[in-house]
Structure 1
Amino acid sequence: MPPQRATTVAERLRLMSGELTAAERKLMAALFANYPMAGLGSISDFAREADVSTPSVLRLAKKLGFSGFPAFQEDLRSELSAQLQNPISKHDRWAAEAPDTHILNTFATAAMENLSGSLKLMDHRAFDAIVALLADRKRQVHIAGGRITGAIATYLYTHLQMARPGVSLVPSTQSFWPQYLLDIGRNDVLLFFDIRRYDARMLDFAASAKERGAKVVLITDQWISPIARLAVHSLPLRIEAPSSWDSNIVPLFLAEALVAATVNASWRETEARIAELEALSDSGKRGK
């Protein structure tokens, strides 16, 4: 298969986060708050946004392996272009680089590299914090996904609502969203799955939910959905595959890991709920 794509600027920053100075961490936060657009203006604008000096921007670019700020921006512009790729352009790019091996082997290699790359960059503290929110039964949990990731949102919802009460699935029909917002209250959790070719309407929905006091959580890709600027926790994952469409294998893996960790975090209550659910299911079968 084609060689593994170079890490994004965001991935480089996350890999080196322990080596960054205070000023460089400010730059990372400013970039992540509006990724990648925050880094595409002038060097002075970027420095001013992070409240640091322009030499700090140059030092960060070189620490990340770039020759200077223009090279840093060139990578960000390439990432912005990758965000906007449609299925046809993705197919053409992969087909041009495709090796002479069976698609099953090619796809399996890509999936394994996506998983290992995602785990290498995973923020365990953010994962644990998300689990704590999902396991907190004082909070209502709302789960939403896009046109493709809606299937993963449904999968996560199906398992969580068996494990704990107060879980709902945001309807896919967007005309229902305004009235659905009425049921989102302060300190509720709104978990989004959002990968590239992001839906601007979903960003608006997240902003409205945050205004109502909800805590926004994001599962996204290596190019980072704009919803990240609103989220209390974000988990970027690798999703590229030798296909016209991106791979949902790693987001699905993460959904299953979130379910397992949430169940373990409140097992006594979950065990009782599952036992009651099983009893009700058996009763329904006997009624037939």
Structure 2
Amino acid sequence: MSENILTISDRIQHKLDDLTRAERQLALSILENYPASGLGTLSALAKDADVSVPTVARMVQKLGYKGYPEFQAELREELRAKAKSPIAKHDTWAEAAPVGHMLNRFTEAVIDNIRHTLGQIDPASFDAACVLAGDAQRHLYIVGGRITHTLAEYLFLHMQVIRPNLTHVQSTSNSWPHYLLNAGEGDVFIIFDVRRYENNTLKLAEMAHARGAKIILFTDQWRSPVHQLAEHSFSNRIVVPSAWDSAATTMLLVETMIASVQNLHWERTKERMEELEDMFDQTRLFRKFT
């Protein structure tokens, strides 16, 4: 399976409106525990979803597969793609490396990622996530992982200017359970989690969810297991001609969220910016040329 084509989850989401009631019930059952839900036998999947075996066969064909074996084979390819190490990803790319300079190849891949990602995002869900992120009555916690902590820090730095009442959670530290002591009903966790998904991040999300917090997830095209707990989940295309995955599309969404929350609360943001600039002047942090 090429990593740039639609995943089975993508196909299901695109076809939801065209499915019968039983097929939709089956589709939602698959997505609920995706991708593990499709790894068993056809009859087991039908039983878990409480639908008939012919319903499974029909829906698989509607997704574009000749039969259940082909459906499962692609699902296993997705699982293998999820677990790829940086070295394995580089080797896979190098086998079919296209011609052209890296600048062009990389840019084309990023543009393709952006196009596919934006084509699948529900604007209403994104707007609702921005409303949650900007609500200063709710404590906002921002969480990143081993690599994505850079995205979390970037979002946190800007949100500090836009709103009060927020915390940057160091999810890779043994101290992160301390942050949960103050988390409660209605608080918001913005979590970044991409392949190879981190156990600490999932456990933190589970505990935050159990305390009544709402979760906004930025993940990849295969989706972190945290998506099952998320109020809003945004899947980003991340594959580029590199040993590492790309954060470009995720950064685009992060900066869009910053701009959106800033606009929702511009008067408050403006006052905080002015106060911050006064502090910068007092500390002489930046050089003045006038």
TM-score range relative to shorter protein:
over 0.9
Contact 2:215 2:231 survives alignment (8 Å): yes
1:199-243 deviation digits (Å, cap 9, x = unpaired): 122111110111111111211111111111111111111000111
Q: 1:136 to 1:48 in 2, by over 3 A?
A: farther
**Greater relative CO, 1 or 2 (CA 8 Å, sep 6+):** 1
Pick which of 44-53 and 259-268 moved more.
44-53
Q: Residue 254 of structure 2 corresponds to which residue in structure 1?
A: 255
SS in 2 for 1:190: strand
Aligned residues: 285
Q: CA deviation at 1:96?
A: 0.8
Q: 1:23 to 1:276 in 2, by over 3 A?
A: farther
Q: Residue 225 of structure 2 corresponds to which residue in structure 1?
A: 226
Q: CA deviation at 1:246?
A: 0.4
SS in 2 for 1:16: helix
SS in 1 for 2:170: coil
Contact 1:4 1:113 survives alignment (8 Å): no
Q: Residue 137 of structure 2 corresponds to which residue in structure 1?
A: 138
Q: Residue 34 of structure 1 corresponds to which residue in structure 2?
A: 33
The 1-side partners of 2:233 and 2:30 are apart by: 14
Q: Residue 66 of structure 1 corresponds to which residue in structure 2?
A: 65
Q: 1:36 to 1:175 in 2, by over 3 A?
A: same
Q: 1:169 to 1:266 in 2, by over 3 A?
A: same
Q: 1:28 to 1:271 in 2, by over 3 A?
A: farther
Letter in 2 for 1:42: T
The 1-side partners of 2:135 and 2:26 are apart by: 33
Q: CA deviation at 1:69?
A: 1.6
2:176 equivalent to 1:177: yes
The 2-side partners of 1:52 and 1:277 are apart by: 59
Q: CA deviation at 1:172?
A: 4.3
2:102 equivalent to 1:103: yes
Q: 1:120 to 1:268 in 2, by over 3 A?
A: same
Contact 2:144 2:170 survives alignment (8 Å): no
1:112-136 deviation digits (Å, cap 9, x = unpaired): 1101111111122221121111121
Contact 1:33 1:228 survives alignment (8 Å): no
The 2-side partners of 1:185 and 1:266 are apart by: 24
Contact 1:181 1:209 survives alignment (8 Å): yes
2:269 equivalent to 1:267: no
Q: 1:52 to 1:125 in 2, by over 3 A?
A: farther
SS in 1 for 2:175: helix
Contact 1:139 1:166 survives alignment (8 Å): yes
The 1-side partners of 2:99 and 2:253 are apart by: 31
Contact 1:32 1:228 survives alignment (8 Å): no
Q: Residue 279 of structure 2 corresponds to which residue in structure 1?
A: 280
Contact 2:172 2:200 survives alignment (8 Å): no
Q: Which runs of 5+ in 2 are unaligned?
A: none
TM-score using structure 1 length: 0.93
Q: Which runs of 5+ in 1 are unaligned?
A: none
TM-score using structure 2 length: 0.93
Contact 1:219 1:236 survives alignment (8 Å): yes
Letter in 2 for 1:186: E
Contact 1:145 1:193 survives alignment (8 Å): yes
Q: CA deviation at 1:283?
A: 3.0
SS in 2 for 1:240: coil
Q: Residue 158 of structure 1 corresponds to which residue in structure 2?
A: 157
Contact 2:146 2:172 survives alignment (8 Å): no
